[in-house]
Amino acid sequence: MINSAITKQIALYGHQAPSADNSQPWHFIWDGSLLSIKYDTPRVEGKTFPANSPATLLSLGAAIENIHLISNSYEIKCCHSVTFEDLSSTHAKAIIDFQSTPQLALPDLSNNHPIVNRHTNRFAYQSKILPKLAVNHLEKLTRGSARLLLIDDKASIHKAGKLVELASNIRFQTKEVHEWLGKSLRFTKDDVKKADGLDVRTLDLPPGGSIFLKFISSWNRMKVLNQIGTYRLLAKIDAAPIKAAPAILAVIAPATPQGAIDAGMLMCNAWTYLNNEDIAVHPYYVVADQLARLRENAVPEQLINSARDIEQQCQTTLDLKEGETLHMFLRAGYPKKVPLRSLRLPDDLVFTDTSGS
Ligand SMILES: Cc1cc2nc3c(=O)[nH]c(=O)nc-3n(C[C@H](O)[C@H](O)[C@H](O)COP(=O)(O)O)c2cc1C
């Protein structure tokens, strides 16, 4: 039987998973027999994507994938299932069932396991293309209903970059998303110490960029600036790195809650593999987000036609099958610069042991 101390270690590897704006929206609970992962409503509700959004399910899938990766490394047999609270809600809960104990002692998080080395790199990349070995590996990778599409020819990379620019145009005119970003930015050392959110030093900002970002993080100011078309300039800046990417990976799966979980697992596996091969990764969620918002009728009225246009272009550029959607773009390439790593919240905020052992 697996014990509480080992389960906590495994959960903390799950906690290394990526999440939107480093919101770390999950809570891990060990009851002595099963490990569950739930949306931490009291801590994150209203500050990031809701429990039922595809972005949250992507993060949940990534945490599940990390738990499988660490379990495989240490020869622990485990399986997972995801339940949804009721038929009208997609409030997901993952349950991990461990069927064996590790053969080897689990290392703490300070070791260089690929899970811990996975990270976001938002800086410029070299133009060098991805090696054939990596391409072959990625082309075969799937998780459940999710698949990867490797985009590595110049014309298709440009089309994908243009989609990011169009979606970013909408994003900078959408109050809710803009306010979440504002709440997650960490400008000072004390803010960074909170260990969640986005340390502005992890962003590729020009000199004075962080002051400008602070200024526009208020929606009222952004709204005024948008009257002179500032959103167009910001969208161009946002899309420039992906237009120049040596390669892009599109994570594609059905537009369903299970599809998002599978996509999160696949995204995390591919990302961990690439970082382990010294290839940098920068996720772009903005296109997938606009597609999800369109399905949920959450795109502002005056921007619906632009979102429909993005949907149609995605269909043809990514050759999506019936019912499929884009869940994430990953910009990939050899890095020029080693980025600062995002922190994770302390253990006691994300892990609870109710086993009484
Ligand atoms: C659902 C989701 C959406 C994300 N969207 C973006 C994005 O659009 N742009 C970006 O730079 N990073 C994005 N990220 C990356 C997170 O900001 C990053 O994973 C988090 O800050 C933790 O940092 P780490 O990946 O270095 O561990 C996203 C991650 C997830 C899981």
Structure confidence by residue, pLDDT tens digits, 268-310: 999 999 999 999 999 999 999 999 999 999 999 999 999 999 9
CA of 355 to the centre of ligand 1 (A): 33
What DSSP character marks residue 291?
H
* Strand-pair category, 351-353 with 26-30: parallel
CA of 101 to the centre of ligand 1 (A): 32
Q: Spell out the domains of the chain, with CATH numbers in brackets.
A: 4-118+342-353 (no CATH), 132-333 (3.40.109)
What DSSP character marks residue 202?
G
**Could you give the CA distance from residue 247 to residue 332 in angstroms, rounded to a whole number?**
5
**For tokens 């992507």, what's the residue?**
58
Which atom of ligand 1 approaches the CA of 58 most closely?
A: 1
Q: Is the CB of 122 under 6 A from ligand 1?
A: yes
CA of 197 to the centre of ligand 1 (A): 10
Taking all residues of the chain, what is their mean pLDDT, rounded to a whole number? 95
Whole-angstrom Cα Rg for the chain: 20
pLDDT above 90: percentage of residues in the chain = 90
Instruction: Determine the pLDDT at residue 108.
Output: 81
Structure confidence by residue, pLDDT tens digits, 178-233: 999 999 999 999 999 999 999 999 999 999 999 999 999 999 999 999 999 999 99
Bridge partners (DSSP) listed for residue 28: 37, 351
**Could you give the CA distance from residue 238 to residue 181 in angstroms, rounded to a whole number?**
14
Q: Classify residue 197 as left (phi > 0), alpha (psi -120 to 50) or beta.
A: left
Does residue 105 or residue 342 have the better pLDDT? 342
Indicate the burial class of 235 (C-beta count within 10 angstroms; 0-12, 13-18, 19 or more): buried
Instruction: Determine the pLDDT at residue 316.
Output: 95
What DSSP character marks residue 27?
E
pTM: 0.97
Enumerate long-range contacts of 101-109, CB under 8 Å, 24 or more apart. 101/1, 101/2, 101/3, 101/6, 101/76, 102/2, 102/6, 102/74, 102/75, 102/76, 103/74, 103/75, 104/74, 104/75, 106/6, 106/9, 106/10, 106/70, 106/74, 108/9, 109/12, 109/13, 109/16
Structure confidence by residue, pLDDT tens digits, 227-266: 999 999 999 999 999 999 999 999 999 999 999 999 999 9
Instruction: Determine the pLDDT at residue 86.
Output: 58
CA of 21 to the centre of ligand 1 (A): 6
> Which helix (H) or strand (E) segment is 58 a member of?
helix 54-73
Which atom of ligand 1 approaches the CA of 17 most closely?
A: 27
CA of 131 to the centre of ligand 1 (A): 24
Q: Is the CB of 66 under 6 A from ligand 1?
A: no
Indicate the burial class of 27 (C-beta count within 10 angstroms; 0-12, 13-18, 19 or more): buried
